[in-house]
Structure 1
Amino acid sequence: MDLATALTISARGMDVQSTRLRVIAENIANADTTGSTPGAEAYHRKTVSFENRMDAALGVATVAVKSVGTDPTELPLRYDPSNPAADARGYVKQPNVNTFVEAMDMREAERTYSANLNVLQATRSMLTRTIDMLK
């Protein structure tokens, strides 16, 4: 594998992890977002799916974001008859966001991003040293 390929692979890994971090941040920001009308839906947690894609130009498989979807789990209910989003029984649909899970996902995404950044920096350093030797 040449150094340009290593740079591209690392950059794509950083790109998908930055998308993942953005989605996690959105989930955390909306962890308390309920509807504003009676029986309205609350915020649904978003998820990111990855896929391997063959890059014909590079001749290697790289990672890409397959889709950003919503978590299909049921929204929890909380009894709060004074809330404007309460249904006829007094229950409000709450977001299906677990901030603990989001924090762990964020930590994993940060570490993966950091690992790709380290590979990128090491590859750049090798390229710089190679150029210096050719001078």
Structure 2
Amino acid sequence: MDFFTSMDISASALTAERTRMNLISSNLANANSTRTAEGGPYKRKDAVFAAEPVAEPFKSVLQKAGGGAQPKQVGVVQITEDQTPPRMQYDPTHPDADARGYVALPNINVVEEMADMIAATRTYEANVTAARAAMGMAMKTLEISR
């Protein structure tokens, strides 16, 4: 695997984790949103990741035609909405309360979202470290060739 392939893999992971972090931020911001454009309360969103082959130049594909593992990068293949029913809370004074006085609130657990945020942050930091290590190795290679 060359320098650019390793940077592509790290960059794809950084992009995927940024998408995950944006979704977590949206979930936290809308934890009490009772109205959406689609109607009803906000639905929690989550990213689905999948391994995808790294796009390689034609020459390297020919060299690997004999076999061997191909490097994979991560990609966001889908953004899903939580299908669990909304949390019902009794508040007859709320403008979105039903006839019985209950309000449908998003089924978002703030503690779970914060734990997901910490995991996304740690994964992002790990990929930054991997990219820096690859760059450091490339720089050392250039120093050797002097």
Q: TM-score, normalised by structure 2?
A: 0.84
Where structure 1 has 5 or more consecutive residues not aligned to the other structure, the ranges are: none
1:35 CA displacement: 2.4
Conserved 8 A contact 2:45-2:79: yes
Tell me, yes or no, if structure 1 residue 43 matches structure 2 residue 42: yes
Which of 50, 71, 77 is residue 88 of structure 2 equivalent to? 77
Range with greater deviation from structure 2 (98-107 or 121-130): 121-130
Question: Unaligned 5+ residue runs, structure 2?
Answer: 58-69
Q: Which 4+ stretches in 1 moved above 6 angstroms?
A: none
Give the equivalent residue in structure 2 for 1:11.
Answer: 11
Contact kept, 8 Å, 2:5 with 2:54, in 1: the verdict is: no
Residue in 2 that maps onto 1:64: 75
Aligned residues of 1:43 and 1:94 also touching (Cα < 8 A): yes
Shift of 1:60: 2.0
Aligned-residue identity in percent: 37
**Aligned residue pairs, count:** 132
Residues 1-135 of structure 1 aligned to structure 2 (within 5 Å):
1-35=1-35, 41-57=40-56, 59-135=70-146
Is the 8 Å Cα contact of residues 49 and 67 (structure 1) preserved in structure 2? Answer: yes
